[in-house]
């Protein structure tokens, strides 16, 4: 089982959204991270067969997906950022309708729909109309519809948007169990979800993959470079102006503890702490739009952009 992109490029006029991308995906969960405008959604739409590349190709088990046609579509499950639904349908009727479109036999479809509604915590609401659902409930229904046909390739664009913490835990458990012998590509701005669930991290910037590997691998270059600093009132702003800074944690005595990324201790009393994925994310995407340059210290430690990445 192998999904591969070879020189994959997508341009919209003068803008290059995906830039000569070479990646190879095998089984497991791939967490795709990047700021707005990094090219994540375009990449996912290309992998889902919803867009035609400007150049390059996508290959499934050695065959171009354009040659596979309908067969490739049958392998896919896809949840876009905003999925369409019929507000007057009940949750069960909506899934049954989509199951029919996907070619599932009625008996199999009913069993599958009920299983998925149970899995996403909507079994009690299966006979309720979708128009009465909250945003989180609609999102859970979207996750269920993406999994209807037991896809070999599951593409999820911002699947945890609108989910509360309990629902996100349920989602992570569901995807972890589902991902066995499948490829799951998960794009989200919620870094903690990727940190928990992903077997491999893909970090995208300017249409290219700039980091890839397991969580331990992508954080290796950050070891020894994250500090927690005592930041009295006013000093936090000074640190933020001089360094890449992360979360600010207030303490009972009124002294804030600020995460700072630096090669050497940024101030007296700073303590080294283990890095997390959010620290690495902030190094790459310290401004809006996904096109900021990595900080020089990061480049000196070997974190440079790559044209492509191969993962297994």
Q: What is the pLDDT of residues 4-38, one digit of tens each?
A: 999 999 999 999 999 999 999 999 999 999 998 99
- pLDDT tens profile 252-301: 666 678 899 999 999 898 999 999 999 999 888 865 433 334 333 333 33
Neighbours of 126 (CB within 10 A): 17
pTM of the model: 0.85
Alpha-carbon distance 6 to 32, whole Å?
18
Residue 302's pLDDT is what?
30
- Mean pLDDT for 217-241 is 85
Residue 257's pLDDT is what?
82
> In this structure, are residues 147 and 178 in contact, taking their beta carbons and an 8 Å threshold?
yes
Alpha-carbon distance 44 to 51, whole Å?
9
Residue 83's pLDDT is what?
84
Residue 254's pLDDT is what?
63
> In this structure, are residues 246 and 261 in contact, taking their beta carbons and an 8 Å threshold?
yes
- pLDDT tens profile 151-193: 999 999 989 888 888 888 989 889 988 888 899 999 988 888 8
Please give the domain boundaries of the chain with CATH numbers for all domains: 3-218 (3.40.50.300), 221-303 (no CATH)
> In this structure, are residues 119 and 196 in contact, taking their beta carbons and an 8 Å threshold?
no
Residue 198's pLDDT is what?
95
- Mean pLDDT for 109-126 is 96
DSSP 174-185: HHHHHTTTSEEE
Query: Exposed (0-12), middle (13-18) or buried (19+): which is 273, by Cβ within 10 Å?
Result: middle
């Amino acid at each position: 089982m192998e999904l591969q992109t070879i020189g994959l490029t997508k341009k919209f006029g003068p803008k290059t959204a995906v830039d000569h991308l070479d990646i190879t995906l095998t089984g497991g969960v791939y967490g795709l991270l990047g700021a707005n405008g990094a090219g994540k959604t375009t990449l996912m739409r290309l992998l889902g067969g919803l867009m035609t590349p400007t150049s390059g190709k996508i290959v499934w088990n050695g065959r171009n997906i354009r040659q596979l046609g309908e067969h490739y579509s049958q392998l896919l499950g896809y949840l876009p950022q905003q999925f369409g639904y019929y507000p007057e349908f009940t949750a069960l009727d909506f899934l049954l309708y989509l199951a029919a479109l996907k070619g599932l036999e009625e008996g199999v479809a009913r069993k599958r729909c009920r299983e998925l509604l149970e899995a996403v915590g909507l079994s009690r609401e299966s006979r309720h109309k979708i128009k009465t659902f909250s945003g989180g409930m609609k999102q859970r229904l979207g996750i269920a519809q993406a999994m209807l046909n037991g896809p070999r390739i599951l593409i999820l664009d911002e699947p945890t948007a609108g989910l509360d913490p309990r629902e996100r835990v349920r989602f992570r458990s569901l995807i972890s169990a589902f991902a066995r012998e499948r490829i799951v590509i998960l794009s989200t701005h919620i870094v903690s979800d990727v940190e928990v669930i992903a077997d491999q991290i893909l970090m995208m910037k300017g249409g290219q993959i700039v980091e890839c590997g397991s969580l331990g691998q992508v954080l290796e270059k950050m070891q020894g470079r994250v500090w927690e600093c005592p930041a009295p009132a006013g000093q936090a702003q000074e640190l933020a102006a001089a360094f890449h800074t992360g979360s600010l944690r207030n303490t009972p005595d009124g002294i804030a503890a600020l995460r700072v990324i630096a090669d050497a201790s940024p101030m007296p009393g700073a303590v080294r702490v283990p890095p997390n994925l959010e620290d690495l994310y902030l190094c790459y995407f310290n401004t809006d739009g996904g096109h900021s340059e990595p900080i020089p210290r990061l480049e000196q430690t070997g974190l440079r952009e790559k044209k492509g990445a191969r993962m297994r």
